[in-house]
Amino acid sequence: MTLRRRPDWTGGVSLLWQPKESHYLDVRANYVGSFFDSSRLQDTPIKMAGYTKVDSTLGWRINDGVELKFIANNLFNSGYEETVGFSNPGREFRVQLKVTL
């Protein structure tokens, strides 16, 4: 019996560079090895390809209560599926402003 969505190998690495107390760059890479999934359209398990996804955050702590972040998810626009038949989004950029009162 093959367990669905259970890769043999997964791993991740993160690098945080903080040249000043108020500025930082965080880069994260996550690897998921190949795995089997199933579909209602097919009786046999479907082998899904492994993938590596890289995300990054550039942050600036403006003062004690304000932080600005520039976030890139799937930085290299890797095409991958976590579930058969459902592609995950491509590259995504976001800006986040966090205000703590």
What pairs with residue 98 in β-bridges?
67
- pLDDT of 81 strictly over 90: no
> CA angle, corner 87, sides to 50 and 11, nearest 5?
30
- pLDDT of 82 strictly over 90: no
Tokens of 72: 């890139």
Dist. CA 49–CA 82, nearest whole Å: 9
pLDDT tens digits for 14-68? 999 999 999 999 999 999 999 998 887 777 888 889 999 999 999 999 999 999 9
Strands (E), 33-83: 35-39, 42-48, 51-63, 66-73, 81-83
Tokens of 19: 């040249």
Dist. CA 2–CA 54, nearest whole Å: 28
What pairs with residue 55 in β-bridges?
28
Could you tell me which residue, 3 or 17, shows the higher pLDDT? 17
- pLDDT of 5 strictly over 80: yes
pLDDT band at 1 (very low <50, low <70, confident <90, very high): low
**pLDDT value, residue 3:** 77
